[in-house]
Amino acid sequence: MGTASAPSLSAAVSVMPPKNSPRRGFDVDAFDISPTAIAWCRQRFPRSLVRYHVTELLASPSAWDGIFGFVLEVYTLQVLPPDLRLRATRRIADVVAPGGTLFVVCRGREPDDEPGHMPWPLTRADLDCFVTHGLREQSFEDFLDDEDPPARRFRAVYIRP
Ligand SMILES: C[S@@+](CC[C@H](N)C(=O)[O-])C[C@H]1O[C@@H](n2cnc3c(N)ncnc32)[C@H](O)[C@@H]1O
């Protein structure tokens, strides 16, 4: 994805070009609540075709409902406190198109583990909310990364039937 190397973006959502389109790749919308983050992306990638938006996830446009063929969520849910996180999970699920894919990466913990300080690692139940909101879990990985010391992370893929 065009935004894979834009580290300050909270999420990136993309729409596949229509079938038989001569264009290759993705049309990409990417957003962050931070105007500074978005300005930095525009400055860093001036030729990018990505549509960058300063948008708060929970106030993202209703025009985004159910239209994105691929949605990427990396390390944003874990910076939100629990009440906002629940609503954010629902909003992320809402923008996935029928047949579309959501890819999620976050820190992971057991329900009994102390959440500690922000970024708060998520539990599997936190991610199961995507299923509650109509997505189907396609894969779920629970792994230790290669940091020193290693951090536990979840990497999961959901599909909207
Ligand atoms: C830990 S960073 C992760 C950024 C990127 N996905 C990455 O992997 O490096 C979290 C980002 O989420 C943004 N953010 C936090 N709350 C948000 C919200 N409610 N709506 C949109 N973006 C938000 C922050 O401004 C920050 O850029």
Q: Which atom of ligand 1 is nearest to the CA of 12?
A: 6
Q: Of all protein residues, whose CA lies closest to atom 11 belonging to ligand 1?
A: 10
How many angstroms is it from 144 CA to the middle of ligand 1? Answer: 22
| CATH number, position 98 | 3.40.50.150
How many angstroms is it from 18 CA to the middle of ligand 1? Answer: 29
pLDDT by residue for the chain (161 residues), tens only, comes to: 223 333 334 555 555 555 555 666 778 899 999 999 999 999 999 998 889 999 999 999 999 999 999 999 999 999 999 889 999 999 999 999 999 999 999 999 999 999 899 999 999 999 999 999 999 999 999 999 999 999 999 999 999 99
How many angstroms is it from 10 CA to the middle of ligand 1? Answer: 3
Is residue 2 in a domain? no
The number of domains in the chain is 1
How many angstroms is it from 80 CA to the middle of ligand 1? Answer: 9
Cα separations in angstroms, 103 against 16, 32, 69, 72, 93: 15, 17, 11, 5, 11
- Ligand 1 pocket test: pick from 1, 3, 5, 8 the residue with the most ligand atoms within 8 Å of its Cβ: 8
Is residue 116 in a domain? yes
Is residue 4 in a domain? no
How many angstroms is it from 90 CA to the middle of ligand 1? Answer: 16
Residue positions counted in the chain: 161
CB-defined site of ligand 1, < 6 Å = 7-10, 32-34, 37, 56-57, 74-76, 79
pTM here is 0.89
The domain in which residue 117 lies consists of 11-159
List, as own/partner pairs, every contact residues 105-111 make where C-beta atoms lie below 8 angstroms and the sequence separation is at least 24, other chains included: 105/73, 105/74, 105/75, 105/153, 105/154, 105/155, 106/73, 106/74, 106/75, 106/77, 106/78, 106/153, 106/154, 107/75, 107/78, 107/151, 107/152, 107/153, 107/154, 108/142, 108/152, 108/153, 108/154, 109/152
Q: Which atom of ligand 1 is nearest to the CA of 74?
A: 6
Is residue 118 in a domain? yes
Is residue 76 in a domain? yes
Is residue 1 in a domain? no
Phi, psi of 151 (to 5 degrees): -110, 140
